[in-house]
């Protein structure tokens, strides 16, 4: 019997890449305007290559970017980029369509809900609070809780412990096959791939593929019927 649903956060509940692209474009534009000697399109392309290399949550990405492109951290350029990023972020951090109504229906089914994210804990809670979703979640497991990134089994095992459930009573929903699905399967959870938000490719197969957020309800009902 299914008793809980755990979610990745970015690109699963939050339309994170739309926000990241808008913020990064604004940051690059501002840095170029402040003196970064690069064409905007080339700079944006390289920044996103670096995101893929070091992780989309990397908190020092602009410093790394400047060191690589101009050989040093120019604090005037850095500040311009960070300020532009923050201005745009406030208006672009939004959940996918139907997230709130789906969470309400999951709660009505008596399910516990939680987050297992690679984001720093404060950032994870801030995103939930900014989208008015924090009230739905019983637990949030973030980077500080284990010091390990998915697909390490530790974050998933920590979630299992906090929920007080067996792995087979939990469905994990995430967008990354090689981090979310692989890690959840390794500890014995059921899995669903959020195809609607998938950013990274991978070979790991989930039990369910979700074309939109509301498909989570179909996945949950599958275990009621089976």
Q: How far is CA 48 from each of CA 21, 75, 102, 112, 199, rounded to the nearest angstrom?
A: 9, 21, 31, 35, 12
Judged against a pLDDT cut of 60, whether residue 226 lies above it is answered with no
How many contiguous H segments (helices) and E segments (strands) does the chain have? 10, 6
User: For the chain, where are the E strands, in sequence order?
Assistant: 4-7, 112-116, 139-141, 170-174, 190-194, 208-210
CATH topology for 4-15+94-225 is Rossmann fold (3.40.50)
Q: Which residues, including other chains, have CB under 8 Å from residue 221's CB and lie 6 or more apart?
A: none
Mean pLDDT of 122-148: 94
CATH topology for 17-92 is DNA polymerase; domain 1 (1.10.150)
Q: How many residues does the chain have?
A: 226
Segment 65-94, tens digit of pLDDT: 999 999 999 999 999 999 999 899 877 888
Residue 114 phi/psi, 5-degree rounding, is -155, 170
- Reported as a pLDDT band with limits 50, 70 and 90, residue 225 is low
- Domain positions in the chain: 4-15+94-225, 17-92
- Reported as a pLDDT band with limits 50, 70 and 90, residue 216 is very high
């Amino acid at each position: 019997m299914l008793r809980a649903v755990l979610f990745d956060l970015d690109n699963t509940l939050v339309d994170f890449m739309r926000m990241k692209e808008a913020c990064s474009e604004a940051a690059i534009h501002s840095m170029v305007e402040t003196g970064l000697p690069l064409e905007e399109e080339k700079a944006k392309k390289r920044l996103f290559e670096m995101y893929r290399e070091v992780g989309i949550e990397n908190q020092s990405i602009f410093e790394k970017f400047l060191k690589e492109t101009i050989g040093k951290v120019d604090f005037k350029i850095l500040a311009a980029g960070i300020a532009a990023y923050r201005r745009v972020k406030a208006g672009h951090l939004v959940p996918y369509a139907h997230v709130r109504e789906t969470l309400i229906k999951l709660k009505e089914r008596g399910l516990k809900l939680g987050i297992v994210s690679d984001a720093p804990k404060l950032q994870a809670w801030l995103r939930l609070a900014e989208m008015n979703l924090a009230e739905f979640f019983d637990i949030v497991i973030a980077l500080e809780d284990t010091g390990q990134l998915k697909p390490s089994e530790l974050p998933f095992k920590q979630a299992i412990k906090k929920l007080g459930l067996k792995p087979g009573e939990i469905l994990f929903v995430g967008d990354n096959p090689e981090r979310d699905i692989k890690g959840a399967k390794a500890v014995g959870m059921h899995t669903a791939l959020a195809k609607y938000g998938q950013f990274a490719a991978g070979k790991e197969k989930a039990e369910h593929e979700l074309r939109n957020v509301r498909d989570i309800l179909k996945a949950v009902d599958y275990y009621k019927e089976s």
